[in-house]
Structure 1
Amino acid sequence: MEISDEAALDECYRTHAPALRSYLRRFVPAQDVEDMIQVVFADLWRSRRRYDPTRSQAAWVFAIAHRRAIDHLRVRRPATVPLDEVGDPPVRERPVADVLADRDRLGRALAALPHAQRQAIELAYFADLTQREIADRLRVPLGTVKARTTRGLRRLSALLAGLG
């Protein structure tokens, strides 16, 4: 179908607009989809003489839609709020007794872990080392450190759930 008159444009709209809506939802905010469809079809109408009827109309429509969506996203400014207007988040002080109780539970759970798992976790979280640095320090393969850490964290989680 060649887009040479308004009836052809209406038919093109009926054929492609539903799929175009779904396609554009992936790129532009939901509230802008209908506006983008209008922009796409206005652009189709303006460039109708460049359409090659031997080629896929859907490909032509979606190529224009893709370019317009990119243009829309480039121009759009994300909503931001100046940091000085946001302020600091409220500080919630926990009672000292709760902090000490949590620290005690964590210490008991860590002590219950196998030595290799506890060592990997302590080096990662208390010595602030990367897994590569832990592997170098312990002279073990990186995969071993990853496995020890993963198993240890799973076991630690189960132990903490049981203690608390």
Structure 2
Amino acid sequence: MTALSIRQADSPPEQAGTGRESTVLADFEECYAANFHKITIQLAAYLGSLAEAQDVTQEAFARALPRWGRLTGYADPGAWVRHVAWNLAKTRQRRQRRLALFLRQQQEEPVAGPEPDRVALIRALSKLPERQRRAFVLHYLADLSIAQIADQERTPEGTVKSWLHRARAAMAAHLTGAAEEGRDV
């Protein structure tokens, strides 16, 4: 591409050339002026939104401009633009319906927050050392026996019993303290 052709491609259409090109642009502007409002009003009634109708109509004219040399051979180039605009509007409507359906399916049901007892339990568990916490959770929440926990943790059963004993004592102290704090408030 030469420097001259690059400058012409970058320049506005009015300055790109003379003769035939300016005639084609004048025809396009005439069609735009004659049809933009009509198509927009039709699509506004269909879409229920003037702004969306204007966007769709503008997009249809934007698609027509590079093809305008060929479209001027049609009996009614405005009909081509109207047809494209309606297709774009229908596509937009389908996308919006699919999006609305997707969003309805994705809506989360409100879930009640945790009960105060659960909050106190989680807080008390978080204060335990890791091994004691793991043994406590595996025994009381996962219903594993001491032998199963010992096997999983690769430690003697006596060690697991010790962890559980210490965990129960610490939990009792934490939960009793939390209950007393709740009464003082």
- More relative contact order, 1 or 2 (CA 8 Å, 6+ apart): 1
TM band (smaller chain): 0.3 to 0.5
Larger radius of gyration: 2
TM-score (norm 2): 0.38
TM-score (norm 1): 0.42
